[in-house]
Structure 1
Amino acid sequence: MTRGLKDAFPMLWSREKVLEYINMHAYLKGIFDEWSREEREEFLDICTGVRGVKTLYDGFFKEIMNPEYAPQRLNDFLSNVLERQVRVTKVLPNDSTRLTDENSLLIMDIVVEFEDGAIGNVEVQKMGYLFPGERSACYSADLLLRQYKRLRDEKKREFSYRDIRTVYTIILFEHSPKVFQTYSRMYRHCFEQKSDTGIQLEIPQKFIYIPLDIFRKKQQNENGSIHNKLEAWLTFFSRDKPEMILRLIKEYPEFKALYGDVYELCRNVEGVMQIFSKELLEMDRNTVKLMIDEMQEEIEKQKEEIREKDEVLKQKDKEVEDAKQRIKELEKQLGEK
């Protein structure tokens, strides 16, 4: 077994101890035996530190970044994403309408309120949806309307539109949509509305998209360099190789506590097996969803091509009819002569 992570996190169990625990419990052994050989090896490597934990796994992410008992972590991450100091004061109920198939692709979807009243919707998507701009605009509008109704009910006659605060939509993609791939060195994209004349209006909707797969490729091309605190956070979320974990905690020692929480969770073999099983199931669903999306996109392209061909055929039919009409006119003129 690789000693690196075991040295840094001595709470990690050995492979033999994990297998012994699984074999002692028939229920766990049944689950373990249902996995493929590759899946069993991946699970054992995660529990023993041979490979790092994917911190974007649903169960791990929510434990590590839970704003209710570790608010400073989310504060620090969001401050680096937004490039301004923020402090989460509370978690708001997330009652936005979500489609069933969308829920399966979300790792995390929380809504928080900052100290200045601004709202942040933080999403982590395993696999980016088609039409990411249109989709996030819809949910941002929903949050803006919720804020408006809440403030209007609280302030009543004293309510003013000046009370409306910015709504930030922050989306991290584990696997980003195709549109982001054309910007192969850009891992942070910010959107806000601006006038084409220079007039200044406060339109309180801002969007930040972070494609983690593009960040990962960029970092690999730069020999694993970590240039700033935001890149440290993105390394934590997107890299699971032991050498990168050790490099991160050496350059940014505060992340060792986060990994410590992760590896304490790994001692709960049953809990980690449930997280791992759920992740395998979601991976299968995501693969199917991606195939459906790609097929739908291909169908739409084919429909567009057919429409274009129909237009060409209609134009040719018109040209033929015009030619026939011209021939008839010529024949008539010839007959008269």
Structure 2
Amino acid sequence: MENRLRNYFPLIRERKEVLKEIGESSGLQALFRSWMPERQEEFLDFCTGMKGVKILYDSFFKEIMSPEYTPGRLNHFLSLLLGKKVVIRQVLPNEGGRIADENTLLVTDILVEFEDGSLADVEIQKLGYAFPGERSACYAADLLLRQYKRARDKRNREKGKFSYKDIKNVYVVVLFEKSPVEFHSMEKEYLHKSDWSFDTGLELDLLQNFIFITLDIFQKNMENKSIENELEAWLMFYSTQDPERIIELINKYPMFRQMYGDVYEVCRNMEKVMGMFS
């Protein structure tokens, strides 16, 4: 089977090279043998370019999309998603008191603050949690409470009077690799944005905003279709392992070529990439 990705990324190694390096280290060899055969094949496939890397692996996502080291990437994606310019000012630490007993299915969870003070929680899930609406509402409430405490403390330090106007919007952005059952009743829709309204027409800013992206449903909708816009390109980047799709993506949107180049650069460091995969 021809490895077309190597034509675009010459640093991709052949299978025999990867296996040779693993075999020369007793530690790497022991780790490799501890994996099930299908996991071994999955690892070899993406290291050798026979399949694309799953960008949603926690370690790869943080390596490629880190707002600390490559802030422009997440800025650009969130700007497209929210329909306004986003510049990440800082990455806030996840506090121990927030919903923390659900890590088994969580791939990554990045909390960011925008220039206007708005907060966004960008979360990637392998599988959809039960009660995604209720759980996301708890996340949004947690974000609001954190922001309230920070705004209040800042006003106290400045000896000013606190106002609820100091609290900005919060966004809970969730990308599902495998979406919960509730979303499958709408098989043509993969991007869901909340829109608060009252039956009287009353307009109030309730601050909490939710965006759910179902990548499995996106993939079904993209069968036999080409990538038509940048947002589709980003969702394809997050969700495909198909080399032909990756080639289409980097030809239409060259910025992704650098991102995949970073992935395959990581794959040259066998100890690091095996640790990330593990």
Structure-2 residue corresponding to 1:32: 32
CA distance in 2, matches of 1:93, 1:48: 35
CA root-mean-square deviation: 1.2
Aligned to 2:164: 161
Task: Write the distance in 2 (CA, Å) between the matches of 1:195 and 1:3.
Answer: 55
State how 1:128-167 maps to structure 2 within 5 Å.
128-156=128-156, 157-167=160-170
- Equivalent position SS for 2:4: helix
Query: 1:28 Cα deviation (Å)?
Result: 1.2
* Aligned ranges 1:236-275 → 2 under 5 Å: 236-275=237-276
Aligned residues: 274
Retained in 1: the 8 A contact 2:173–2:210?
Answer: yes
* Separation of aligned partners in 2, 1:83 and 1:19: 46
1:126 match: secondary structure: strand
Report the AA paired with residue 125 of structure 2.
Q
Q: Are the aligned partners of 2:126 and 2:177 in contact in 1 as well (CA < 8 Å)?
A: yes
Secondary structure at the aligned position of 1:192 is classed as: coil
Once the two structures are superposed, residues 203-229 of structure 1 have per-residue CA deviations (whole angstroms, 9 ceiling, x without a partner) of: 111100001100011111xx1421211
Identity %: 54
Instruction: Point out the structure with max Rg over C-alpha.
Output: 1
The unaligned stretches of length 5 or more in structure 2 are none
Pair 1:214 & 2:217 matched? yes
What do residues 130-160 of structure 1 show as CA deviations (whole Å, max 9, x unaligned)? Answer: 1000001011101101111111111133321
Whole-Å separation in 1 of the counterparts to 2:245 and 2:229:
15
Q: TM-score, structure 1 length as denominator?
A: 0.79
1:172 aligns with 2:175: yes
Alignment of 1:39-50 (within 5 A): 39-50=39-50
Once the two structures are superposed, the pairs formed by residues 10-21 of structure 1 within 5 Å of their partners are 10-21=10-21
Residues in 2 aligned to 1:42 and 1:244: alpha-carbon distance in whole angstroms: 18
Q: Which has the higher helix share?
A: 1
Secondary structure of the corresponding residue to residue 136 of structure 1 = helix
2:154 is aligned with what amino acid? E
Contact 1:5 1:246 in 2 (8 A): yes
Deviation at 1:2, TM superposition (A): 2.8
Alpha carbons 2:99, 2:139 under 8 Å: kept: no
Q: Is the 8 A contact 2:187 2:217 kept in 1?
A: yes
Q: Which runs of 5+ in 1 are unaligned?
A: 278-337
Could you report, residue by residue, the CA deviation over 1:252-274 in whole angstroms, capped at 9, with x for unpaired residues? 11110000000001111122222
Matched position secondary structure for 2:171: strand
Shift of 1:53: 0.6
Q: For 1:51-66, list aligned pairs within 5 A.
A: 51-66=51-66
Paired amino acid for 1:204: L
